Chain A
Amino acid sequence: SQTIHQWPATLVQPVGSPLSLECTVEGTSNPNLYWYRQAAGRGLQLLFYSVGIGQISSEVPQNLSASRPQDRQFILSSKKLLLSDSGFYLCAWSTGTGNTEAFFGQGTRLTVV
């Protein structure tokens, strides 16, 4: 069966520090991968998605970047965090074959102080 791992669960970082959040998927090949951000009490904003290794699409301009160095690994990064980067970050995957659902990790709560 397929599983998705996302870590860490919580993170407190100072303003100006770098960020690296990692997400890995097991039990499937060539998944579509997604990074979402959820502000407190709000909906999910799609940040990045990837349909293959090295293929990253950005939905909104921001202080973050994403990379996909391996088929089932998706990394969210920042060189210098801003206070506005605080939020709940969710990684997800789908088969990308159409009419299928997204499967989510348990999320990372990032607080920038």
Chain B
Amino acid sequence: SQQGEEDPQALSIQEGENATMNCSYKTSINNLQWYRQNSGRGLVHLILIRSNEREKHSGRLRVTLDTSKKSSSLLITASRAADTASYFCATDPYTGNQFYFGTGTSLTVIP
């Protein structure tokens, strides 16, 4: 299976704190993406980082990518209660036609 893994599986923090989630994957990739899923809903794309990039920012999100270690991290700064959701990484292999998702991190931000 090409599915990646996120850790931790669950994370609970206070509002205002930073949240860090990690993703490990198995194969060479074209890019890596992070998605958010509210309970019982579809996934929403957050950010994409290409294989030749090491870091990317979007608002309160910061993503890093280490292709030598086949790993990525997502940092959410100054978390809010509305950030409560599950977060998934997805890899797009060189074939470019599939997206393989990790197992997800469930984030709870306590007001």
Contacts and interface: CB of A to CB of B under 8 A. Distances in A.
A105 B42 contact: yes
A46 B99 contact: yes
Chain A interface SS verdict (over half)? strand
Interface stretch (A13-21, A36-44, A73-81): A36-44
A13 B101 CA distance: 27
Contacts of A49: 97-98
B6 to A, nearest CB: 8
Interface residues of B, number: 26
Contacts of A44: 43, 88, 101
Interface string A81-113: 000000010101010101111111111010000
Given A46-B99, A46-B101, A96-B96, 20 more contacts: A34-B98, A41-B106, A42-B103, A43-B101, A43-B103, A43-B104, A44-B43, A45-B3, A45-B101, A49-B97, A57-B97, A90-B42, A92-B42, A94-B99, A102-B43, A102-B90, A102-B99, A104-B42, A104-B44, A107-B40
29 contacts: A34-B99, A42-B103, A43-B3, A43-B88, A43-B104, A44-B43, A44-B101, A45-B101, A46-B100, A49-B97, A57-B97, A59-B98, A96-B96, A98-B92, A99-B30, A99-B48, A99-B92, A100-B48, A101-B48, A102-B33, A102-B45, A102-B99, A103-B45, A104-B42, A104-B43, A106-B41, A106-B42, A107-B40, A107-B41
